[in-house]
Amino acid sequence: MAIPSSSPASPAVRARKPGARLAWIGKVFLSLLALAVGAILFRDLVRDPRLFLQIVISGLQLGFVYALIALGYTMVYGIVKLINFAHGDVFMVGSFVSFYAVTRFQLHVWPSALFPDVPYAVVVIVGPATVILLSMLVCVALAVTIERVAYKPLRDAPRIAALITAIGVSFFLEFFGALSFVFSPRFIPYQRPFDVVTWYAKDGIHLVTSAQAPPEGSITFSNIFLIIVLASVLTQLLLQFLVRRTKIGKAMRAVSFDKPAARLMGINVDRVISFTFAVGAAFAGLGGVLYAIAYPSIWSQLGILPGLKAFVAAVLGGIGSIPGAFVGALIMGQAEALTMGYISTPMRDAVAFTVLILVLLVRPTGIFGEPEKEKA
């Protein structure tokens, strides 16, 4: 039986032109959009450079906190391919633990309570550091428990089962925390473990006191801003060291690359996954305390939106990539702060997600993401 050879000039099939010819339309649209945003920002910068700089500083503060949370998302996603929705709530638990440690147990002044002769400088450093360490430890314990109880049994189940479980755990933490005998259903004014000191920069750096308000045209920044930046950068470096230079870091990279192969090489995959959750949770706990100090009002659903935005930041930077999470978080913080400053506060969430969609359209795997492997 002869098979009719298909001729290229078959009259039934209309020849279709290559669509690449239309690529300019999208490019023009995107460039116009970028130009418009750039022009508006430039106009605002020229109009009032001081205000612009102040907004950028608040954006940096937000962005560095997001970076702390985003690390946990990006590591967990890189290794188990799970959007760990409960991560934001671990962050919330971190801020509540520090709140109760400070208000109920006065943990932030324990050195002076035990040894009355200790100099003030030691108390103010050791006390808050203890509070932060306690929060981090509680968060680690919580995250490892969640991983063991909820995620581990589902490791071989379809991915959606783990995702739904993560949503369930997240809901549980939010609403269990809202019970009055657990945390509280209301917003609570946060009591800081140390005082926030604000400086202003104009002809040198001066302290803002109740007597000396910042003069016109100066830029203010606080110690919590510096601590957040420092903590975030140090965490970043620590994590880079952990992943690149240590044995467990090598194991993490191996598990994220190929789980069965890693298991065959004698890596205890379960332990590595637990360790990843623990590291992420420790950073979330740190972030929770710092976030609560910077924005001192906490409630049981505190973690939802920062958690989501941190995840978006991780996706923006290329999920699975640690520097990507950092850069994405900074972009996210700036986008939000500039929106709050120049458009309107409620639009911050809208702009955050619009930025995500636009970046993903231009670079589908995020800024630092590796191109996805073709399905074999």
Partner 1 sequence: MSLNVGFLIITVLKIAGLLAWVYGLLWGLGQRTWAAKLVTVVGAFAVIQLAISLPFGSVTLFSDFDSGLLFQACTMAMVALGLNLIYGFNGQFSLGQWGFYGIGAYAAADITYRWTNDDARGLLVVGIGVILIGLVILVVHRFLSQYTGVPVMSAFTLYLFGSIAAGAVAVALGGAGHAALAPLFGTKAAPGILQSPVVIQLVFFLAVLLAGAVAAEISFLFGLPVLSLGSDYFGIATLGFTIVVNTLMINSDTILPFPEMKGGRGMIGIPKLTNWFWAFAFLLAVIVVMRNMIHSSTGRAIMSVREDETAAKVMGIDIANNKLLAFVVGSLFAGVGGGVYAHFIGFLSPGTFDFLVGFNPLIIVVFGGLGSMTGTITASFGWIFFLEGLLRVILGQLGTEAPTWRFVLYPIALLLLMLLRPKGLLGTVEWGFLKAPWVPMRSRAEANTPPQA
Note the residues at the interface with partner 1 (CB under 8 A).
Answer: 14, 16-30, 81, 83, 150, 153-154, 157-158, 160-161, 163-165, 167-169, 171-172, 174-176, 178-180, 185, 301, 304, 308, 311-312, 315, 319, 344, 346-347, 349-350, 352-354, 356-357, 360-362, 364, 372, 375
Q: How far is the C-alpha of 183 from the C-alpha of 177, rounded, in Å?
A: 5
Q: Kindly state the smallest distance separating residue 328's Cβ from partner 1, in Å.
A: 12
Q: Are 190 and 135 in contact (CB under 8 A)?
A: no
Q: In whole angstroms, how close is the CB of 158 to partner 1 at the nearest point?
A: 6
Please say which residue, 253 or 363, places its beta carbon nearer to partner 1: 363
How many other β-carbons are positioned within 10 Å of the β-carbon of residue 61? 24
Q: Which is nearer to partner 1, 208 or 358 (CB)?
A: 358
Q: What are the residues facing 206 on neighbouring strands? A: 200
Q: Give the nearest distance from C-beta 300 to partner 1 in angstroms.
A: 9
Residues near 349 by beta carbon (within 8 Å), at least 6 away in sequence: 305, 309
**Least Å from the CB of residue 371 to partner 1:** 11
Whichever of 107 and 308 has its CB closer to partner 1, that residue is: 308
Measured distance CA(50)–CA(221) in Å, rounded: 12
Q: How many CA atoms lie within 13 A of 77 on its CB side?
A: 26
Q: Minimal distance in Å, beta carbon 209 to partner 1?
A: 38
CA-to-CA separations, 37 to 43, 156, 167, 183, 298, in angstroms, rounded: 10, 45, 35, 42, 34
* Secondary structure element (H or E) that encloses residue 219, with its range: strand 219-222
- Residues 354, 37: contact at Cβ < 8 Å? no
CB of residue 87 vs partner 1: minimum separation in angstroms? 14
Least distance in Å: CB of 77 to partner 1? 8
Nearer to partner 1, 233 or 361 (CB): 361
Residue closer to partner 1, measured from CB, 111 or 369 = 369
182 residue type, one letter: V
Q: How far is the CB of 305 from partner 1 (least distance, A)?
A: 8
C-alpha span between 273 and 290 (Å, rounded): 26
**Beta carbon of residue 160, minimum distance to partner 1 (angstroms, whole number):** 7
* CA–CA gap between residue 95 and residue 297 (Å, rounded): 10
Residues 267 and 281: their CA atoms lie apart, in Å, by 22
Nearest to 190 by CA among 226, 230, 224, 231: 224
Q: Give the full edge-to-edge strand order of the sheet including 198-201.
A: 205-207, 198-201, 219-222
Choose between 124 and 347: whose C-beta lies nearer to partner 1. 347
Give the nearer residue to partner 1 in terms of CB position, either 228 or 308: 308
**Looking at beta carbons only, is 51 or 178 nearer to partner 1?**
178
Q: Spell out the residues 6+ positions from residue 293 whose beta carbon is closer than 8 angstroms to its own.
A: 190, 192, 193, 194, 196, 224
Instruction: Give the H or E element holding residue 221.
Output: strand 219-222
Task: Give the shortest CB-106-to-partner 1 separation in angstroms.
Answer: 29
Nearer to partner 1, 51 or 163 (CB): 163
d(CA 251, CA 349): 37
Residue 132 or 355: the one with the smaller Cβ distance to partner 1 is 355
